[in-house]
Amino acid sequence: MTDLAHIRNFSIVAHIDHGKSTLADRLIQETQTVALRDMKAQMLDSMDIERERGITIKANTVRIDYKAKNGELYVLNLIDTPGHVDFAYEVSRSMRAVEGSLLVVDSTQGVEAQTLANVYQALDADHEIVPVLNKIDLPASECEAVAAQIEDVIGLDASEAIQVSAKTGVGIIETLEAIVHRLPAPKGDVDAPLKAMLVDSWYDSYLGVVVLVRVIDGSMKKNDRITFMQNGTVHQIDRIGVFRPQMVNVERLGPGEIGFITASIKQVRDTRVGDTITSEKKGTAKPLPGFKPSQPVVFCGLFPVDSSEFEDMRDAIEKLALNDASFSYEMETSAALGFGFRCGFLGLLHLEVIRDRIEREYNIELITTAPSVVYHLYMKDGEQRELHNPADMPDLTYVDHVEEPRIKATILVPDDYLGDVLKLCQDRRGIQLDLTYAGSRAMVVYDLPLNEVVFDFYDRLKSVTKGYASFDYQVIGYREDNLVKMSILVNDEPVDALSMMVHRDRAEARGRAMVEKLKDLIPRHMFKIPIQAAIGGKVIARETLSALRKDVTAKCYGGDASRKRKLLDKQKAGKKKMRQFGKVDIPQEAFISALKMDS
């Protein structure tokens, strides 16, 4: 066990691509935690998809030993966190396990929306924050201007901000010294009953469930019997250790230390994130305040392309849910797509990552329905319901009113593109709350409906600002609006996978765009096919897909005109009958393309 005064626990927080994982690599390399031959870029990003996309999805931890300039030996526990808004839940959990943060700001880009969001999370967790200006090796670096911006926008003293280049290794020693001297040591009492916080848990096929813990009071060692306070289960510790980044066994973990335990736990469901772990016999009476559970904001249906793969898909989803506390799912069936799952995500990137992991790690091809959000329905008989899937919308005559989730969006954008951003937000039914300036950049705060954001808002924002805008949001509550369910009918049959909730004022334009798109996507059949968008019983847009023609009169040479007429009438009757009984096959690509709405 290490003396408390020589432990420092900290996380690295920043906006996307400001260099968190690279800085973590340099800290690991400088302290020789990993042998040089084993070093690789993004040491702590273990998933293929993280390395491929160049983003961090799971917060990862590593223990570093550092001999400071004053000759003392310190133990540093570092947690590298994600930068994307979809994984903010990972960040908030990691914050609760440590006492300080390194705030990394790109000295060429300045403060971005996600920088603000992560700083506020760190301040909520009572962190001591050390600003670090990264990428000083680039010619566009402006350290003084960015330091002034940190003081203006965030209100942090940046006069002693450390200037580093995580790529070349400049300023890494100064960073380590700042961690040791400017961040606080953890508090804790080794003689008190054991109190440890469960920070994360994941399933390992050899060890069972691996639990990441931060010990607050007391200590834990191998063969101790421990209780998880939320569900009262008792387990015996088989293995206890720390990450350097690979697992290394230790004798015991004391106050202030971060490590892992395994205890032959079969189900990750038994290990709730934020739970308090204590000893079975002389346990603590009062649990730690946990985290509030994450609320999924975007829902969509996932269906296997080949319906025989449904059981494999169920296994895949159950395994992924074990390792991701913020992903929820339930079974659903669809007339067009067969059996599948209705899944909840924290955002569109989260959805993409889960979908990619199922396709890649389990080799199952998927169809994804339109992403939608959760609506609150207030019925005329006073009942309140939640609507996850627009296809389940009851008849409007029974519904008193519908409420939709609203978000508070913070957008930082260079002055030149401000007009385009304001227009985009107005088009998406936004209400402007605030507009201030931080240097040459405008900070716009909007109240927007989440429904308008989940489709393609982020892509549109990036394209109208040539990639310069940064965007962050949080859900602020529900508000009533004039929302209706728009159904798409193909050959008079409703296609439930394409139904969606829209604002009544926008319904006609949305419907027209949808039917025009489907007309190009659905292959022609032997009979003509009407494609309609409807609200309730009223059709608001229609396109007709003409029939394939077969020249039935080709074999008539000469003779009376009535011979030809007779053949054409026979064909006409056949087509009418075919249309009555004919089934229109909508190819999978058509579903996916139709759901990618363009403005």
Residue numbering of the annotated binding site for GTP: 17-22, 134-137
Helix (H, G, I), strand (E, B) or coil at 507: helix
Q: Token pair of 408, please? A: 């508070």
Question: How far, in Å, CA of 538 to CA of 550, rounded?
Answer: 34
Q: How many alpha carbons fall within 13 Å on the CB side of residue 464?
A: 19
Angstrom CA distances, 151 to 159, 175, 442, stand at 9, 20, 16
Question: How far, in Å, CA of 542 to CA of 534, rounded?
Answer: 9
The alpha-helical segments, DSSP class H, found in 283-411 are: 310-323, 348-361
Question: How far, in Å, CA of 559 to CA of 115, rounded?
Answer: 83
Closest to 8 in 3D by CA, of 258, 192, 345, 292: 258
Question: How far, in Å, CA of 98 to CA of 89, rounded?
Answer: 15
Q: Centre a 10 Å sphere on the Cβ of residue 597 and count the other Cβ atoms it contains.
A: 13
Q: How many alpha carbons fall within 13 Å on the CB side of residue 124?
A: 13
Annotated binding site: 17-22, 134-137
DSSP per residue, 456-471: THHHHHHHHTTT--EE
Closest to 193 in 3D by CA, of 261, 274, 275, 281: 281
Q: Token pair of 233, please? A: 């289960």
Helix (H, G, I), strand (E, B) or coil at 127: coil
What's the Rg (C-alpha) of the chain? Answer: 29
Q: Token pair of 214, please? A: 């931060």
Closest to 77 in 3D by CA, of 259, 211, 280: 259
Amino acid at 168: T
CB distance 255 to 216 below 8 Å: yes
Angstrom CA distances, 223 to 235, 237, 280, 529, stand at 9, 5, 12, 70
Q: How many alpha carbons fall within 13 Å on the CB side of residue 246?
A: 4
Q: Is the dihedral of CA 458, 459, 462, 465 positive or negative?
A: negative
Q: Which helix (H) or strand (E) holds 362?
A: none
Region of 392 (left: φ > 0; alpha: ψ -120 to 50; beta: rest) is alpha
Phi, psi (5° rounding) for residue 129? -120, 130
Phi, psi (5° rounding) for residue 191? -90, -10
Closest to 413 in 3D by CA, of 49, 74, 110: 110
